[in-house]
Amino acid sequence: MTNQDLAKDVAKQLDRRRMRRKLALWGAVVALIALAVSYVTCGQGFGLGGKGKGAGKGAGSGSATIVPDAGPTRCAVRIAAEGITVDGKAATRDAAVTACKATSGADVIVTGDARQGDWDDLKAALEAAGVTIYVKQSGG
C-alpha cells in the first residue's frame, strides 16, 4: 500500500465521519423543532407529571351524579294487523294520541300487514293534536 492509497483511505474515513456528524446534527435539529411544535400545539407540557395546581381539598362529597342529555323523548307507536301499540303496550287511537302529546313527537312504524284505514285515522288524529310524526315503513 502506497502513501497515496493510505492518504485516500484516511480522507474517505474523515469524510464519512464528517457526514455522520452532519447527519446527527440535522437529525437533532429536526427532532428539537418537532418537540417545540408539539409543546406549543399540545398545551403547556407533555402530560408527564405530577399533581395539579390545586390542593384537592373542597366541600364536595367525592361522588358525582351524571345526568345524560338524551335529547327529546318521543313515543314509539307501532301499527300492525293486531292493532296499535304505544311503547310496547296495546293502546287505542285516542290513547296513542294522548301519550304522544306528552312527548316531543311520535316514532311510528307501520308494518306491511297494517290496515291502511288505521294508519290514516291515527295520522289524522296525531296531526290534529299537533304531534310531530316520524314514520318508518316495515315489511311485516
- Tell me, yes or no, whether 10 lies in a domain: yes
How many domains is the chain partitioned into structurally? 2
- Tell me, yes or no, whether 3 lies in a domain: yes
- Tell me, yes or no, whether 59 lies in a domain: no
- Residue-wise pLDDT tens for the chain (140 aa)? 788 888 888 898 999 999 999 999 999 999 999 988 887 777 665 555 555 566 666 666 666 666 666 667 889 999 998 999 998 899 999 999 999 998 888 999 998 888 888 899 999 999 999 998 988 876 65
**Strand order from edge to edge, sheet including 89-91:** 89-91, 83-86, 75-80, 106-110, 133-137
Instruction: Write out the residue range of the structural domain in which residue 16 sits.
Output: 1-45
Report CA torsion sign: 107, 110, 114, 118: positive
Asked whether residue 80 falls in the same domain as residue 29, the answer is: no
Amino acid, res. 121: D
Distance, CA of 132 to CA of 81 (rounded, Å): 23
Buried b (16+ CB within 10 A) or exposed e, 42-71: eeeeeeeeeeeeeeeeeeeeeeeeeeeeee
- Tell me, yes or no, whether 80 lies in a domain: yes
Asked whether residue 38 falls in the same domain as residue 81, the answer is: no
Helix (H, G, I), strand (E, B) or coil at 84: strand
